[in-house]
Every structure is written in C-alpha cells, then in structure tokens.
Chain A
Amino acid sequence: MTVRLFVPADAAAIAVGADDVALALAAAAARIGRSVEIVRTGSRGAFFLEPLVEVETASGRVGFGPVAAGDVESLVADGLLDGIGARSLGLVEDVPFLKAQTRFTFSRCGVIDPASLDDYRAQGGGLGLARAAAMAPAEIVAAVSASGLRGRGGAGFPTGIKWKTVLDAPGARKFVVANADEGDSGTFADRVLMEGDPFAVIEGMAIAGLATGASRGYLYIRSEYPHAIARMEAAVETARRAGWLGDRIAGSGHAFDIEIRVGAGAYVCGEETALIESIEGNRGEVRAKPPLPALKGLFGAPTVVNNLLSLAAVPFILAEGPEAYAAVGCGRSRGTMPVQIAGNVKRGGLFEVAFGITLGELVEEIGGGTATGRPVKAVQVGGPLGAYFPPALFDTPFDYEAFAARDGLIGHGGIVVFDDTVQMDAMARFAFEFCAIESCGKCTPCRIGSTRGRETLDAIIAGRDVSKNAALVEELCDIMRFGSLCALGGFTPYPVMSALRHFPRDFGLPETAAAKAAARETAA
C-alpha cells in the first residue's frame, strides 16, 4: 500500500532543508521497496519543528520534526513510514503549539496540497464564495461589518466600513487590492498563507469584488517572496480554469479577475497610497489623504485596499456566519489574529489565536522563552515601527486598544524576541537607519530627521554628550511624529522612544523607576 507523506514546500521549511528531506525520504523508501507518495504542503506554521514530516496513518497524521536529511535513513529504519519511532511527535494536531490555536483563517494551511483546488474544496474551501454569490452586495458588506473584522495590515480599520464606502462610491470601475507587501520584520503570515492555502486568498478577493462591485483585483506581493509569487500565479491560473475567476465567477453574474504584481524592494510601498502609485507604475511615494483610496484610488477609481489577512478572513465569516467570527476576541478586537512569534525564541512560528491572550503568554508559554535560553530582555511588537516592550509589560493583552494605551501597536501581529545580550541603543539606531533607507522622501522630518537621528544615536553610543543628545532624540521624535505624512516617519519614534524609556541604562542614562522595575522583571 502506498504511504502518504507530507513535507512542506514553504520557503522557511525549504530554508532549513525540507527539499533535501523530501529527496532523502523518497530514496530511503525506494531502498526498502516501499511505495510512497510525498505531498508538498504549505507549513502549519510551527517553524521550530521544520522540516516537519507527516505520515498518514489509520489514526491520523503523525509528525516527526525537526528532521534533517541525514536523519531520514534511521528514522525510516525505525518505522517512520508506519508512523512509529522514538522521535515521533504523535498526532500532529495534538502538538501543543498547534492544539492551542483557534484556526479560522489558517485551518487548511499545512494540511492540504496547496496546488489542488479539489483539496481546497474538500476542506470547506469555496463555501464563502458560494454564499456570497447568492447574496446582494450590501448583505455581504453587512456580514463583514457584523463580524467586527478590522484591518490586519496595521491600522485596525473596520473592514466593513471600508467596503461600504467603496460599494456606495460612484464609479464606472472599481478595484480590489490585496496588500501582500509584508515588509515588517518578524511577520510572515501573508507569505505562509499564500504558499500554503492560495485559494483562500483568491476566494477572499473574489468575495470583496462581489461585495463592492469591483471586477478586477490586484495582488501586490513583495519581491522577497519568490515562492509565494510562483504559488499564487499557479493558483490564479487554476482558479480561472475552474471558473472561480473570469466572466461569471462562481456561477454569479459578476466578472472578477486577479492580476499579480510584484514589488521591487521598497518597504514604503506597503503603505496603501504608495502601493497604488507602485501599481500605476510610479515611484512609491505616499499620497496625501483625502482623497481616500476607497473613493479615488487605483487609476482614480474607488478601491478597496486590504491586507491579505483581512481578505483571507472573509471566507470563514461568510461560510460560518459573522457571529462565529465575532464570538471570540476581546473588547473591540473581534475574531482571531494570526500572531507571528520570531527572533530569539524557542518555539517560533505562526500562532492564530483569539484576541485577548497576553503578550507574556505568547512569549513565555507559547514561544517558550528565548532560543538561547537566556532571559528575555525585550520584544518588539508590530514590526519596525512598533514599540519595544520589556517583560514588565507582558500582561498587555493582544488587543488594538490595549497596545495603543501602552504606546505600542499590534501592526501586522509580529513579535520579535530579544535576549539580554541585545543593546537597545543599537536597536534605536537601527530604527532610524531603517527609516532613512526606506523613506519615500516626501516629508523633511522623515527624510532628514531619520538620518539626523541615526547620527545622534551614533554620538550616544560613542558616549558623547549623552543626556543632551538623548534630549535631542526626543525632540526629533516629536517632530517626526507630528510632521510626517505616513507612519514610516510618524511611528519610527515608537521603537526609538520605547527603547529609551524602558532601557535608559543601555544609552548610558540614569535608571528611571519604571526601567528599574523592568530590569527586576527580566532578572526574575
């Protein structure tokens, strides 16, 4: 009997040897005369276990991981092909990191063959689009509003309101733009979903098209993601052949098609108006708002710009009902957030969970603390424009408002963990440096201020006029915060000021009471 094996073809799994493991498995099976079928899935997101090999057994899929190509021979000799061996993780769905999740958006990711529309359908894919096709646009928008879904790209703007604006806007043509520019360090959820469940992205975009009257969608993927680009190109082709895209999608009377656009290495192009400029073929410079893209966006037409995760949440909302989505969460943050735990962490990966879990639970319990085994000193939440949090603030619940109340942001849901060897003055310097490299150049505080900030941090690091220069940094941050057109210049003060506030000693400044408490917590 042919044994079915599953080995991820996710870029991060490949980065740690999954291709070699797949080859070694095929060779080892051939040597002992066993017939195997190796399905290349996406990743379940438990990256600390990658390369994760799964074997289909009568009781379910049994996992082994992390597997190195060199281990394969002995694992197979010990019974891997029958799901046995001392290194078995047991049933994959019972692995604590996976079992503790609430997978609304990522339910199929890592499970199905991402190239197969049949697999997608067999696991509930397409139900949302079928429902939407039988609904009036305003009903779809109402369902999305009722779910409480907020934008996962950073600002947390209610998706239903955005869609309603586009639906109500007059326009001979309208567009849906899926933002997969995902430039934030510590984030990879867009990538993992595109590689592991590309039809969910297409389904979400198609539903947005039906809801707003847009007949064309653009999926903007950053160039750093070649595997995701290839996977999405193939999936769009397949979806067209199956009638999911085209003149009459999913049996509705509506046309919708998707074009994939590839970024060119500019972080600022994740900002929605810069993204629009980029698709139009221009320099990725931020536009002043108003006009809102929802009224006057791509090629001057009403345009929905949504993060890829916002769009991919919608099939579940329509298939299971908005109440099912809104039933979990915390305060005004409804549903689930695909949190990404990265950096110096023992169990890094994608963790989809209802809003409300605390930062400390995510870092210490789910993530298991640092990979190096040293104490956690700081975590940066929300990408390069997000604040650094000391362990003293680990009681902060994952919730848009709770993070804002502590001068931070959730952003796209990335958490980067640092151990006690990190020098926070160097991280503050990097925040300015990154802003200087990526600034679109439109506003002086961002363009010039970032470089001045980096130079001032250099002086602080060299020990020159530390308190005077620290005051200068603070002043500079104020100017950037209030004088920048977009969040690149406007939010770079978050990482800088949080580093200064919580870790003054790293800058050669006297300890404050708050920082002292934080340091005690780190030592504990």
Chain B
Amino acid sequence: MQETEKRTAAIVARFAGVEGATLPILHAVQEAFGHVPRESIPVIAAALNRTRAEIHGVVSFYHDFREEPAGRHHVRVCRAEACRAMGSDRIVAGFETALGITLGSTSADGAVTLEPVYCLGLCATAPSAMIDGKPVGRLDEAAAARLAREIGR
C-alpha cells in the first residue's frame, strides 16, 4: 500500500464502531493531509462499506472539504450580511491587494489561500475574518494589510 493509503487506513481505524463516521473521518483526513487526497477515498469507502461515488459525493457537497491542497496559510473573510453592513467589501479588497490574489484563490507560491466565509459568529465585532483559525474583528483596510503582511510566507 502507498503512503497516503496507509495513513488514511490508520485514521479510519480510529473511528471503528462510530455510527455515521463519514464526516468525522473526512475531517481527520483533511486535518492530516490538508485536503482529502484522491487516494484516500477508496480506503474510506471500503472501511465504511460504501461506494467511492458516495464518498466522493459527500466530499464535494461540503464547502470545507477540498480535493486539492490549499495554501499553507488560510485567510477567511466574512462575506455575510452583518460584516457587509460594516464594509467587508473594503476588507476583502484590503486582503486582495496586500496578498496579491483574488478572493477564492491560492497564491502561486502556495503560501496563502484567501476565501470567503459566511458568518463566523463575530457579527457584533464586524467586519471579521479568521486567519489560520484565529478570529479577528473590527477590521479596517489598514488592519487587513497589516495582518496580511504578518502572515509568514
């Protein structure tokens, strides 16, 4: 077995006996690899007694699961209503300019992925974003530019 398959099998084994384990397994696989590798899908399908198409269907349904690797750093800017009310358009523009990429893309050097998110529950300290899992709020363009610079490439 190849490396990816082996590691996937070890992850899947941790969820033996868990009912409805598909999402927990996919989260764990993505946590380990940064995405859900194509090679992992048959391993997951076999363990759960489901078809590859079914597992692939689940992966493609959820926005969180990615089939391709993302950047080493992950910037998610909130685009939902409360943040729009506080100028999230400008925050997006600020990150885009400072990172040199557009929303929904990864920088060519693989350092950063910039993505929209629809509400982080930080709506009373809007506009908000999350950078590598760390929440940031009350942003303005200058803060966006500073945060973008602080992201190690």
**Given that A12-B124, A15-B137, A264-B63 are known contacts, is A281 also in contact with B81, CB under 8 Å in the complex?**
no
Please measure, in the bound complex, the distance between the C-alpha atom of A192 and the C-alpha atom of B121, giving whole angstroms: 9
Nearest CB on B from A266, distance (A): 5
Instruction: Say if the beta carbon of A434 comes within 8 Å of chain B.
Output: yes
Nearest CB on A from B12, distance (A): 13
| Cβ-closest chain B residue relative to A218 | B20
Please measure, in the bound complex, the distance between the C-alpha atom of A261 and the C-alpha atom of B19, giving whole angstroms: 11
Q: Please determine whether A11 and B121 come into contact, CB atoms closer than 8 angstroms.
A: yes
* Residues of chain B contacted by A264 (CB below 8 angstroms): 23, 26-27, 62-65
Q: Mark A186-228, 1 if CB is under 8 A from B, else 0.
A: 1110111000000000000000000000000000000111110
Please measure, in the bound complex, the distance between the C-alpha atom of A50 and the C-alpha atom of B137, giving whole angstroms: 11
Scan residues 91-126 of chain B and give those whose CB is less than 8 A from a CB of chain A: 117-126
Size band of the B side of the interface?
35 or more
**Given that A264-B63, A344-B86 are known contacts, is A15 also in contact with B26, CB under 8 Å in the complex?**
no
**Given that A12-B135, A226-B133, A266-B63 are known contacts, is A185 also in contact with B48, CB under 8 Å in the complex?**
no
**Given that A283-B58, A343-B82 are known contacts, is A16 also in contact with B27, CB under 8 Å in the complex?**
no
Q: Please determine whether A262 and B23 come into contact, CB atoms closer than 8 angstroms.
A: yes
| SS class, residues of chain A in contact with chain B | mixed
**Most central of B23, B123, B125, B128 by chain A CB within 10 Å:** B123
Q: Please determine whether B58 and A282 come into contact, CB atoms closer than 8 angstroms.
A: yes
Please measure, in the bound complex, the distance between the C-alpha atom of A265 and the C-alpha atom of B65, giving whole angstroms: 8
Nearest CB on B from A10, distance (A): 10
* Residues of chain A contacted by B24 (CB below 8 angstroms): 261-262
Q: Please determine whether B82 and A186 come into contact, CB atoms closer than 8 angstroms.
A: yes
Please measure, in the bound complex, the distance between the C-alpha atom of A423 and the C-alpha atom of B45, giving whole angstroms: 48
Nearest CB on A from B83, distance (A): 8
Please measure, in the bound complex, the distance between the C-alpha atom of A462 and the C-alpha atom of B133, giving whole angstroms: 38
| Cβ-closest chain B residue relative to A267 | B118
Please measure, in the bound complex, the distance between the C-alpha atom of A192 and the C-alpha atom of B125, giving whole angstroms: 13
* Residues of chain A contacted by B128 (CB below 8 angstroms): 15
Instruction: Say if the beta carbon of A184 comes within 8 Å of chain B.
Output: yes
Nearest CB on B from A186, distance (A): 5
Instruction: Say if the beta carbon of A418 comes within 8 Å of chain B.
Output: yes
Please measure, in the bound complex, the distance between the C-alpha atom of A384 and the C-alpha atom of B123, giving whole angstroms: 13
**Given that A15-B137, A16-B137, A226-B133 are known contacts, is A187 also in contact with B21, CB under 8 Å in the complex?**
no
Q: Mark A468-499, 1 if CB is under 8 A from B, else 0.
A: 00000000000000000000000000000000
| SS class, residues of chain B in contact with chain A | mixed
Q: Please determine whether A225 and B121 come into contact, CB atoms closer than 8 angstroms.
A: yes
**Given that A343-B82, A384-B81 are known contacts, is A281 also in contact with B125, CB under 8 Å in the complex?**
no
Please measure, in the bound complex, the distance between the C-alpha atom of A510 and the C-alpha atom of B119, giving whole angstroms: 34
**Given that A265-B64, A348-B124 are known contacts, is A384 also in contact with B80, CB under 8 Å in the complex?**
yes
Nearest CB on A from B138, distance (A): 5
Nearest CB on B from A349, distance (A): 5
Nearest CB on B from A504, distance (A): 20
* Residues of chain B contacted by A227 (CB below 8 angstroms): 135
* Residues of chain B contacted by A185 (CB below 8 angstroms): 80-83, 118-119, 123
Please measure, in the bound complex, the distance between the C-alpha atom of A345 and the C-alpha atom of B123, giving whole angstroms: 10
Nearest CB on B from A421, distance (A): 9
**Given that A187-B121, A343-B82 are known contacts, is A299 also in contact with B26, CB under 8 Å in the complex?**
no
Please measure, in the bound complex, the distance between the C-alpha atom of A190 and the C-alpha atom of B19, giving whole angstroms: 25
Nearest CB on B from A68, distance (A): 11
Please name 28 pairs of A and B residues whose Cβ atoms are closer than 8 Å in the assembled complex, sorted by A: A12-B125, A12-B135, A14-B134, A16-B138, A185-B83, A185-B118, A185-B119, A186-B80, A186-B82, A186-B119, A188-B122, A224-B117, A261-B24, A264-B27, A266-B62, A282-B54, A283-B61, A299-B20, A343-B85, A344-B86, A348-B124, A348-B126, A349-B124, A350-B124, A384-B81, A430-B81, A430-B84, A434-B118
Which 5 A-B pairs give the minimum distances between C-beta atoms? A281-B22, A348-B124, A15-B137, A185-B80, A264-B62
Q: Which residues of A contact B (CB under 8 A)?
A: 11-12, 14-16, 47-48, 50, 182-188, 190-192, 223-227, 261-267, 278-285, 299, 340-345, 348-350, 371, 380, 384, 414, 416-419, 422, 427, 430, 434, 437-438
Q: Which residues of B contact A (CB under 8 A)?
A: 19-24, 26-27, 48, 54, 57-58, 61-65, 80-86, 117-126, 128, 130, 133-138
